[in-house]
Structures are given as C-alpha cells and as structure tokens.
C-alpha cells in the first residue's frame, strides 16, 4: 500500500515538474517575441529600441537672425553709381563783348527823360555738340533791366539766330535808355549784359549825341 502511494506521489511530482518546465519555456519564448515586436515598432532614429535616446530635432533660426558668412565665401558689396547730371548746352557757349557804346540824345540837362541809346557788339560761339538758341539778351544797369529795342530787332545782325555746333555769330544789340539808367552809365561807364544764363560785365564808351 505504501509502495503504491509512493509511486503516485513520484508520478505527480514528475508531471508538475514537466508543467513547470513547459511553462518556463513558453514564458521565455513569449518574452522574446514581445521584445522583437517592440523593437520593430520603435521610431526611426531611436537607438537601442525602447531604451534608446531620440536624436534632437533641428532648431529653426530665430526671426531676424543673421546667418554667418562662410570664411571661404566673402560677402560682396554692390555699389550703385550716382546719376550723372546732364550738362547744359548753354554752358558751352563762349561769349566775347567786342565793344559797348552809349549815345545820348539832345535832351536838355536836368530833364526827367534823359533818353539815350546803348549799342553792344558781342560774339557768341557754340563750342558744344548740340544746337542752341539764345534767349533775348537783357542790359543791366544797377537795378534797372532793359530788353533789346523791339523797333530794331528786325534789322540784319541785330539778334542771334539758332546756332549749330561749332558756329559763331557776331551781332550788334541795341537798347533804349531813359530815366535814372542814363546818368548812371554816364557816371560809372559800366554795365552788364545778361545772356546765355550769364551776367557779362563790360565797359561803356561815351559818344556824341545821336542825330
């Protein structure tokens, strides 16, 4: 009787050990499978599966930040040339006063009118590359300004025509004076002619009264 119980006890023990062994093998196998699945699902770039450290994300440049220039690529500076001013064609006109004369009338001394006539012989040469047209010249005596006499502007050689490049003209300008302009010229013997944007000084010679 005792021997039969012993055999049954041993048989049960053997079965128990067999179950424990099988269960242990299944557990190890299941653990390996789970570890493999976990490794397959790890994100790209991870190191060592679930225990690895992910690579740090790229840092975006802050607004307004300046990217340093590579020492092998020097920065280039673009220089914009300043606009060039267009030269005035009148600046190329050469002026020469050949003579200026004042002819007084037979006006009695002390009269208010004090009429007189001034003639100016002047030469203008266009040394530029463009045609020019000179505006009507003005005689300046102190603060008084007098235009050329319109009654004689139609006479030949009394006004400038349009000048082509390289062309020179000599004309005789005529001005009629009155009032304070006449005694001032007689006293100072000086006047100015405004022409081609310039004020040209000249000496005035006195002549006998005009007839």
Q: Nearest Cα to 127, choosing from 156, 70, 168, 72?
A: 168
Q: Is 51 inside a domain boundary?
A: no
Choose between 88 and 50: higher pLDDT. Answer: 88
145 within domain boundaries = yes
Same domain, 36 and 93: no
**Average pLDDT across the chain, whole number:** 77
Q: Is residue 130 part of a domain?
A: yes
Q: Is the same domain home to 93 and 192?
A: yes
Q: Are residues 24 and 113 in the same domain?
A: no
Does residue 97 belong to any structural domain of this protein?
A: yes
Residues 33, 109 within the same domain? no
Q: Do 34 and 108 sit in the same domain of this protein? A: no
pLDDT at 59: 54
Residue 106 reports pLDDT greater than 90: no
Confidence category of residue 87, pLDDT binned at 50, 70, 90 = confident
Look up the domain containing 148 and give its range: 89-207
CATH code assigned at 125: 2.60.40.4110
| Beta strands 138-141; 168-177: pairing state | unpaired
> Same structural domain for residues 32 and 95?
no
Domain count, the chain: 2
- pLDDT at residue 35 in the model: 60
Q: What is the pLDDT of residues 3-33, one digit of tens each?
A: 667 677 777 767 776 665 655 655 555 556 4
Percent of the chain scoring above 70 in pLDDT: 62
7 and 98 share a domain?
Answer: no
Residue 100: inside a domain: yes
Same domain for 115 and 18: no
Report if residue 151 sits inside a domain.
yes
Q: Are residues 108 and 169 in the same domain?
A: yes
**pLDDT of 139 strictly over 60:** yes
Predicted local distance difference test score (pLDDT) of residue 48: 45
Q: Is residue 83 part of a domain?
A: no
Partnered with residue 197 across adjacent β-strands are none
Residue 200 lies in a domain: yes
Mean pLDDT within 103-122: 77
**What percentage of the chain exceeds 90 in pLDDT?**
44
On whether both 108 and 179 belong to a single domain, the answer is yes
**pLDDT (mean) for 28-43:** 55
Burial class (CB in 10 A: 0-12, 13-18, 19+), 114: buried
Residue 202: strand pairing partners: 191
């Amino acid at each position: 009787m005792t021997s039969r119980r012993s055999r049954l006890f041993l048989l049960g023990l053997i079965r128990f050990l067999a179950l424990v062994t099988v269960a242990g093998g299944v557990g190890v196998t299941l653990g390996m499978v789970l570890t493999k699945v976990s490794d397959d699902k790890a994100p790209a770039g991870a190191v060592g599966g679930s225990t690895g450290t992910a690579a740090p994300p790229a840092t975006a440049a802050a607004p307004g930040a300046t990217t340093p220039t590579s020492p092998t690529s020097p920065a280039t500076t673009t220089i914009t040339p300043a606009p060039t001013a267009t030269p005035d064609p009148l600046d190329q006109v050469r002026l020469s006063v050949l003579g200026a004369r004042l002819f007084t009338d037979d006006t009695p001394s002390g009269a208010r009118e004090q009429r007189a006539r001034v003639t100016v012989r002047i030469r203008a040469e266009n040394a530029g590359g463009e045609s020019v047209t000179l505006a009507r010249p003005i005689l300046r005596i102190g603060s008084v300004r007098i235009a050329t006499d319109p009654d004689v502007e139609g006479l030949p050689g009394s006004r400038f025509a349009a000048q082509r490049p390289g062309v020179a003209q000599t004309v005789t300008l005529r001005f009629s004076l009155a009032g304070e302009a006449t005694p001032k010229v007689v006293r100072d013997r000086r006047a100015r002619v405004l022409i081609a944007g310039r004020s040209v000084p000249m000496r005035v010679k006195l002549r006998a009264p005009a007839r």
